Structure 1
Amino acid sequence: MSLPLYLAMMKSHGKLLGGFIYGAAAYIILIIWIYPSIADMKGFNDMIAALPEGMRKLIGMENGINSLSDYIAGEFYGMLFLIILMVYVILTSTRVMARLVDQGSMAYLLATPNSRVKVAITQAAVLLTGLALIVGFTTISGIAASEWLIEGYQLDVASFITLNILTFLTFSSIAGYCFLISSLSNDEKKALGISAGITLLFYMLNMAGKLSEKTEWMLNLTIFKWYDPIKMINNETDAFWIGCSLGVSTFLLFLISVIVFKKRNLPL
């Protein structure tokens, strides 16, 4: 990895990354802050129970809200945080590879003593560092807000941290195939469109698969099958094996990306 290139890329993506970190941290603080009013609302769980089963699964509240952990997992990690992280990995994976090729900047990078392998590894590190920072700041913000902003409601910190680790690994895998697409592309818009299309398809299959037993088979076609925030935060999943599987898939996807970028013809 090239440290000067890594630092330069982190600096150039600083404002964009800062926006994602601020948005994620601010929103999780907000939903934790208003949780007491939700928890004290009479009949809230009865209202949730009145919804169709598929709809409850879709919004991540199949069994209602029984704790602060359930509320955070369903309200934040079940939808909004997914969207934030999807947008980040799609945009950034395209910016660190395909955009540089499309705009001709990659030719200048490869004219330096840095090899293609070193450049690709550095760009992958930039992508994953940003993802880790977003998830890390969100984790810290959630724990701090639960301790300082509300009283009488306990957050299971260990399970919350486990949820965030699995969230990072899930989106590292998504970042892996987006990075592979970007490494194969000469056109920034094409890479962005393909990455966004595949990820959106996975997300829609996940939503459709939760609607009923007839469509449940669709969950087998999406990476989000392994991502169930409610079960994760309640320790109802095999976190170790899911984490290992996601970690291996991430490693393989980035390894293939580096090999492909090393061997492909570039319009330089």
Structure 2
Amino acid sequence: MTTTVQPKQRTTFVPWIFYQTLVQRRRTLLYWMLALGGLTFYTASFYPTLVAGNQEALNNLVNELPPYMEALFGKMAGFTSPEGYLDAKLYLLFMPFVLMVYTIRFGTSIIAGEEQAKTIDLLLANPVSRTRVVLEKYAAMLVATALLVGVVGLAVWLAAVLYNFEVNTSGLVAVSLHLYGLIITLGTLAMFIANATANTLVAAGVTAFIAVVSYFINSFAALSETAERLQPLSLFYYYRGHEPLFSGVHAADLGVFALLSAIFLVLGVAAVNRRDLGA
């Protein structure tokens, strides 16, 4: 009598946590995309009206600004060019700090948010590891953030086409990539702190503080020797240090963001696996 051995059936991996996270956040994500896209389009489309017949007056105005104003709000000498206008109005300060609100909230909610909502036990009652939960939710954050950054870039391009002004497409792609790197790094840092402390408010506050300090260190590097020495520690240095909107992608800067995000992700996973959740 021969015995036949049935081959083991391979189970197909289904990233259901990833899909569920995006589905649960679909309305919020849609509202953010519409709001950011509309606001970006409106701001970019205002450029031709602003500079029409006013270039000389605007240049004279910005040239008279004190050095600390230029440090805070960027190099204003090229404000009347499309890239200079977009850099000052959108990519210097506004978009980074608006988008970091989204990613910080997303990052802190990955595990600590589930704990505070008392849903972590239900989630982990499924046959999934803590590591898988973190990684799939983190992947959802990567996708959602990419959609937001992409909508901003698309709105700028659409405004340039419809209102007949030229924008360097490669520079637009470059600044979008650098913006994505900055925002993801901050979101991953927030996730790590929240995973380690189980406190979303502490994680959000510490991450926001680091972002603000980074911005000021990078901004005042040209005016202060102390800030100049600390500049390599600033996340904004790797976002704006080489002015990607004007000069294109800088792989080394993106590499720093990728490395920091990977470190914070590993630390965040380790923090979740070491402590009692929901306690």
TM-score between both structures, scaled by the size of structure 2: 0.86
- 1:209/1:23 Cα in 2 relative to 1: closer, same or farther (>3 Å)? farther
**Deviations along 1:181-216, whole A, 9 cap, x unmatched?**
121122333333333333333334344445555644
Q: CA deviation at 1:86?
A: 1.6
Q: Among residues 50, 56, 73, which one is paired with 1:38 in the alignment?
A: 50
Structure 2 match to 1:134: 148
Structure 2 match to 1:239: 250
- 1:184/1:81 Cα in 2 relative to 1: closer, same or farther (>3 Å)? same
Structure 1 match to 2:139: 125
Structure 1 runs of 4+ off > 3 angstroms? 203-218
In the alignment, the residues of structure 1 paired with residue 241 and residue 98 of structure 2 have an alpha-carbon distance, to the nearest angstrom, of: 15
Q: Among residues 185, 189, 193, which one is paired with 1:177 in the alignment?
A: 189
- 1:34/1:60 Cα in 2 relative to 1: closer, same or farther (>3 Å)? same
Q: CA deviation at 1:107?
A: 1.2
Between 1:224-233 and 1:167-176, the stretch displaced more is: 224-233
Residues 59-98 of structure 1 correspond to what in structure 2 (within 5 A)? 59-98=73-112
User: Is the CA contact 2:175–2:249 (under 8 Å) kept in the aligned structure 1?
Assistant: no
Structure 2 match to 1:262: 273
Structure 2 match to 1:253: 264
For these two proteins, the number of residue pairs brought into alignment is 265
Between 1:245-254 and 1:155-164, the stretch displaced more is: 245-254
- 1:83/1:122 Cα in 2 relative to 1: closer, same or farther (>3 Å)? same
Could you tell me which amino acid in structure 2 is paired with residue 248 of structure 1? Answer: L
Residues 166-205 of structure 1 correspond to what in structure 2 (within 5 A)? 166-205=178-217
Q: Among residues 39, 64, 77, which one is paired with 1:27 in the alignment?
A: 39
**Deviations along 1:162-193, whole A, 9 cap, x unmatched?**
11011111211111211101211223333333
Between 1:116-125 and 1:246-255, the stretch displaced more is: 246-255
Could you tell me which amino acid in structure 2 is paired with residue 20 of structure 1? Answer: W
- RMSD between aligned alpha carbons? 2.2
Could you tell me which amino acid in structure 1 is paired with residue 208 of structure 2? Answer: A
User: Is the CA contact 2:58–2:80 (under 8 Å) kept in the aligned structure 1?
Assistant: no
Could you tell me which amino acid in structure 2 is paired with residue 251 of structure 1? Answer: A
Structure 2 match to 1:146: 160
Question: If you compute each CA radius of gyration, which structure gives the higher value, 1 or 2?
Answer: 2
- 1:238/1:127 Cα in 2 relative to 1: closer, same or farther (>3 Å)? closer
Q: CA deviation at 1:92?
A: 1.3
Could you tell me which amino acid in structure 2 is paired with residue 88 of structure 1? Answer: Y
In the alignment, the residues of structure 2 paired with residue 214 and residue 192 of structure 1 have an alpha-carbon distance, to the nearest angstrom, of: 27
In the alignment, the residues of structure 1 paired with residue 249 and residue 174 of structure 2 have an alpha-carbon distance, to the nearest angstrom, of: 11
Could you tell me which amino acid in structure 2 is paired with residue 114 of structure 1? Answer: V
Structure 1: gaps of 5 or more residues: none
In the alignment, the residues of structure 1 paired with residue 73 and residue 211 of structure 2 have an alpha-carbon distance, to the nearest angstrom, of: 19
Q: Secondary structure at the match of 1:5?
A: helix
Q: CA deviation at 1:15?
A: 2.7
TM-score between both structures, scaled by the size of structure 1: 0.89
User: Is the CA contact 2:191–2:268 (under 8 Å) kept in the aligned structure 1?
Assistant: yes
Structure 2 match to 1:58: 72
**Deviations along 1:98-151, whole A, 9 cap, x unmatched?**
111122211111110011111010111122222111101111111111112x12
Residues 89-108 of structure 1 correspond to what in structure 2 (within 5 A)? 89-108=103-122
Give aligned-pair identity as a percent.
Answer: 19
Q: Secondary structure at the match of 1:227?
A: helix
In the alignment, the residues of structure 2 paired with residue 218 and residue 38 of structure 1 have an alpha-carbon distance, to the nearest angstrom, of: 37
User: Is the CA contact 2:108–2:200 (under 8 Å) kept in the aligned structure 1?
Assistant: yes
Higher relative contact order (CA 8 A, sep 6+): 1
